[in-house]
Structure 1
Amino acid sequence: MSLKANLTHTPYLGYIGAGSALVFGTLLAMYPDRAVFAESRPDLTGGREWPLVGNLPMLIQMRDKAHDVAYEAFKELGSTVSFTAFMFPRQIMLSDPRCVEHVLKGNFENYVKGPTFHAAMDDLFGHGIFNADGKEWKWQRKTASQIFNVKNFRDLFTEIFVDEIAYMKQNIFDVAADRQEAIDFHSIMFKFTLDSFVRIGFGVDLECVKKPGKIPFAEAFDAAQTMTARRMLSPFWKAEEAVAGFFGKGMKDYVKVVDKFANDVIAQRRAHPNKAEFTDLLSRFMQASDENGVPLNDRQLRDAILNMIIAGRDTTAQALSWSFYVLSNHPKVEAKLLEEIEQYVREDMQADDLYTAIKDMKYAHAFFYEVLRFYPSVPTNQKYALGDDILPDGTHIKKGDYVAWSPYAQGRLERVWGPDAAEFKPDRWLVDGDLKKMSQGQWPSFHAGPRVCLGQNLATLEALVAICLLLKRYHLSLVPGQDITYALSLTLPMKNGMKVMVERRQ
């Protein structure tokens, strides 16, 4: 009898089928309301889940609207919502400001980035400040805090922003106004902020705004960031990247280009260590030491500077894009903001005078903070619990849990912001003409606690410099028929860009 016939007439296949059915039935009985291998947590609130796969089908189906799904879940199920999904760790999502502040500030030492975050971020972020924990994070934080001071804001950063915007006004916005042509504001802002932050970080002008062609570093930098974001959204990213890399470029290829750019600049700087004209972040970090008092090596310098660029570039570009989107839909807000700009800002202002003027513009700050309430540059975030904990609302957190919060959803919830939460109202930030200070748990747009964003003032400064100088000279209107929505990422980019018409003010 042939081997094929022998196999056909044996009961082995039947045994395999019966065994598989038994295993499947057992798992189905053990996990009827959650993802396989997820612990039963009847103490946590969550919606109905599929057996064995949990919320994975919903995550796949609704991934493009994930932030709005979180908002609806909080509205329907309460301030704390838990869910499981196949191949993902359990997520406990928070919207109660007390709980968010507890995780980020009150019990800070118990919550870290965690293995999922580190695995996704290591290739691009390395051991920089945004991917570090413990002692490694502390020395970087201390070093960076000494660099992000008022003098640097006034003398270096503002001058770079003003210089970049002056070029854009003359060569992009004026030209678009004269020709009555639409421009993609979102794309231009990404080029502007990459140019600005690379100049601040490395002292190098990429000229993304000036050059129409592709720039290798910029292209690789964007691709690596996109792939890093996808890693956080798929449990199968290693397999997906292996397949994609077989047919084209992969993460290693993009990171290699980014590393070469950074390493070349560092090597050139080390060859001329005493040149007084170097005032960028690289020159300052080269004078710093690590936790052991040892000067930073090339890899540490690369990680430190790239983390600063990554943190500031995308978030600021997106905040500017959403700001002008809001202005196009709120003419009364635009008129009030423009009135304050006319009072404080002149087009021929020197950088240090502009810095001083913007500091005093209360309504401009209120406007920008309200934009970030609706469109936070980091719309969702998470931490990993090192030990058991109890949150202020009574929720029990277990060691190994991932705790997440959604500034995007929080900013829209009435229980957090009151019955007028859906209204865009910059005046909610003003009390007797002064800026009102919100709790970090209520408004975690710049994170909170010991890890609150060091670049908050820098990002706000750049955004307001751009808003003031552009709004003073131009009125931007949306091209009709666009679908302005977000793309799912670590930050909040516009999925389809934002095309605007440019009109000079009289």
Structure 2
Amino acid sequence: MSSTSFLTAGTVGKAALATIVGLAAYYNDRAVFDENRKGIANEPGYPLIGNLPMLIQAKDSIHDLMLEVYHQRQQMTITFSILGVPRQILTLDPQNVEHILKSPEFHSSLNDLFGNGIFNANGEEWKFQRKTASIIFNVKNFRDQFTDVFLDELRVMKSDILDKAVAENQVIDFHDLMFKFTLDSFILLGFGVHLNSLKTEGKVPFAESFDAAQRATFQRFINPVWPVTEKLQKLVNPWTKDMNYHLKVVDEYARGVTEKRRKELAEGQVHKDLLSRFMEASNIHGEPLSNTELRDIVLNFVIAGRDTTAQALSWCFYLLSQHPRVQEKLLKEINDFVTDDLLEDSARLYESIKEMKYTHAIFYEVLRLYPSVPLNQKYALKDDVLPDGTPIRKGDYVIWCPYAQGRVEAIWGADAKQFVPERWINENGELRRESQGKWPAFNAGPRVCLGQNLATLEAIVAIIFLVREYKFSLAPGQNITYDVSLTLPMKYGMKMHVERR
């Protein structure tokens, strides 16, 4: 190679280095080629890569990061600049959140697990699914079928698990128990079959893959290069059960149940579950729903009802164990409204539950501090301006974090971080409901949660049944914290001692 070639190579190297230095000097606090956005506070980052290291470092505590950013900047709305990711704008402002919730578009990384179910569907497809599902969510079904299912599963829990734990002085994993309870309940309501996870030692394969697929889905939600990282993980450890494996387990279970139900309906059997309701309907093209469409629709409802309620119940009993005053007040209301005979009469129990204001207040307060969907995002279909004046451009991702919102004193007052169910009861003793932007526990706008009353009913029936029968206390030496997922599970579960009342 001639000296001229070395000179040329050296010159190119110096020019490249000079370019990088120049870019780093210009983009000294943000990702390369991201412009400085005016009219919005900016979270300073590293030259050229922006806030990417901060996001990676906090991947296991992302919800607390959102709160920390607010406390550091004292700004309700702030923008992040992350290399390789579209503009991210975080807002905790209730007016902004309510405004954003009107937008229908979700991130495409949800597609593999959610398919074209109600979470991902848009337009006429979404309207069709919502209308058909609303048929089953009526007062008669709430009063009779749904309450009976929840009580039956709670009786299984009592006889097969809790009474045994009391007799043998066993420590139970309460978090795992709630997941089994809600999974059995919602598989029965959704597919019309008994999964019997409450009667099974250890994990049920469907439940294990169902959970793993959701965790992987959330990582896709926050990781823009997930196609690359997932392939690398598989190369490093080819024996690991990856997303494709777990999706196959979930898919085969759903399709197997669907095929069996088709045969049963063809034989003239009558079923009232969600799957059967949709089988009797046609899609937006006037055609019978395919197995894939049915799988997507029903799994979306199982995800919505099973995980969120299991987690809300887990955080509820965690908080009750820390606040004996609240637990005693709750027990008094339960004893005032619920008798043994009432637990055998679903219609009367349903009517009685509606009058139990303090029990509802506890449930709302739990969801304020530990919202079932702690972090969410949508992207702008067109330029917009948020109510606080923040300019949004087409393609921007707008993030809101109910977990952080519930701990902001400017929103909830000086006791924002404290568990105070009384905040939900007004001076007349009636339940107070906050704006959906301030308390987006069940979403808002046209996509307000169709199953919010069902989830509330299941949670309150479980609270009544369990608190009336047992006293739960935390086993010592635990680290009770959340796991990062689409919802808010406990990372290490929750071990509890059980005593009879």
- Quick one: which amino acid aligns to residue 172 of structure 1? I
**1:269-298 deviation digits (Å, cap 9, x = unpaired):** 111215444111101111222223333222
Residues 268 and 47 (structure 1 numbering): CA distance in 2 closer, same or farther, change over 3 Å?
same
Please report how far the alpha carbon of residue 482 of structure 1 lies from its aligned counterpart in structure 2 after TM superposition: 1.0
Matched, 1:84 2:76: no
Normalising by the residue count of structure 1, what TM-score does the alignment of the two structures yield? 0.93
Matched, 1:379 2:368: no
**1:292-335 deviation digits (Å, cap 9, x = unpaired):** 33332221111100000111111111100000000001101000
1:272-421 matches, within 5 Å, as 272-273=264-265, 275-348=268-341, 349-350=343-344, 351-421=346-416
Matched, 1:263 2:276: no
2:28 and 2:47 in contact (8 A); partners too: yes
Task: Select the residue among 98, 109, 115 that pairs with 2:95.
Answer: 98
Please report how far the alpha carbon of residue 436 of structure 1 lies from its aligned counterpart in structure 2 after TM superposition: 1.1
Please report how far the alpha carbon of residue 122 of structure 1 lies from its aligned counterpart in structure 2 after TM superposition: 1.1
- Quick one: which amino acid aligns to residue 380 of structure 2? A
Looking at structure 2, the residues matched to 62 and 330 of structure 1 have their Cα atoms a distance apart, in angstroms, of: 30
Looking at structure 2, the residues matched to 328 and 316 of structure 1 have their Cα atoms a distance apart, in angstroms, of: 18
Percent identity, please: 55
Residues 359 and 8 (structure 1 numbering): CA distance in 2 closer, same or farther, change over 3 Å?
farther
1:95 and 1:405 in contact (8 A); partners too: yes
1:158-237 matches, within 5 Å, as 158-237=147-226
Residues 283 and 31 (structure 1 numbering): CA distance in 2 closer, same or farther, change over 3 Å?
same
Looking at structure 1, the residues matched to 420 and 410 of structure 2 have their Cα atoms a distance apart, in angstroms, of: 17
Q: 5+ residue gaps in structure 1? A: none
Matched, 1:254 2:243: no
Normalising by the residue count of structure 2, what TM-score does the alignment of the two structures yield? 0.94
Looking at structure 2, the residues matched to 379 and 500 of structure 1 have their Cα atoms a distance apart, in angstroms, of: 24
Q: 5+ residue gaps in structure 2? A: none
Looking at structure 2, the residues matched to 62 and 270 of structure 1 have their Cα atoms a distance apart, in angstroms, of: 47
Looking at structure 1, the residues matched to 314 and 272 of structure 2 have their Cα atoms a distance apart, in angstroms, of: 29
- Quick one: which amino acid aligns to residue 206 of structure 1? L
Matched, 1:72 2:61: no
Looking at structure 1, the residues matched to 399 and 477 of structure 2 have their Cα atoms a distance apart, in angstroms, of: 35
Please report how far the alpha carbon of residue 489 of structure 1 lies from its aligned counterpart in structure 2 after TM superposition: 1.5
- Quick one: which amino acid aligns to residue 325 of structure 1? Y
Secondary structure of the corresponding residue to residue 28 of structure 1: helix
Please report how far the alpha carbon of residue 426 of structure 1 lies from its aligned counterpart in structure 2 after TM superposition: 1.1
1:112 and 1:386 in contact (8 A); partners too: no
Range moving further from structure 2, 416-425 or 345-354: 345-354
**1:392-442 deviation digits (Å, cap 9, x = unpaired):** 111111111111111111111111112222232111111212111211111
Secondary structure of the corresponding residue to residue 476 of structure 1: strand
Range moving further from structure 2, 125-134 or 276-285: 276-285
Looking at structure 1, the residues matched to 43 and 208 of structure 2 have their Cα atoms a distance apart, in angstroms, of: 41
2:373 and 2:402 in contact (8 A); partners too: yes
Looking at structure 2, the residues matched to 209 and 263 of structure 1 have their Cα atoms a distance apart, in angstroms, of: 23
1:244 aligned partner = 233
- Quick one: which amino acid aligns to residue 75 of structure 1? H
Residues 27 and 481 (structure 1 numbering): CA distance in 2 closer, same or farther, change over 3 Å?
same
Secondary structure of the corresponding residue to residue 63 of structure 1: coil
Looking at structure 2, the residues matched to 411 and 396 of structure 1 have their Cα atoms a distance apart, in angstroms, of: 25
Please report how far the alpha carbon of residue 215 of structure 1 lies from its aligned counterpart in structure 2 after TM superposition: 2.7
1:135 aligned partner = 124
2:105 aligned partner = 113
Looking at structure 1, the residues matched to 495 and 3 of structure 2 have their Cα atoms a distance apart, in angstroms, of: 65
Please report how far the alpha carbon of residue 64 of structure 1 lies from its aligned counterpart in structure 2 after TM superposition: 2.2
1:35 and 1:84 in contact (8 A); partners too: yes
Looking at structure 2, the residues matched to 240 and 8 of structure 1 have their Cα atoms a distance apart, in angstroms, of: 42
Looking at structure 2, the residues matched to 46 and 263 of structure 1 have their Cα atoms a distance apart, in angstroms, of: 48
RMSD: 1.9
1:447 aligned partner = 443
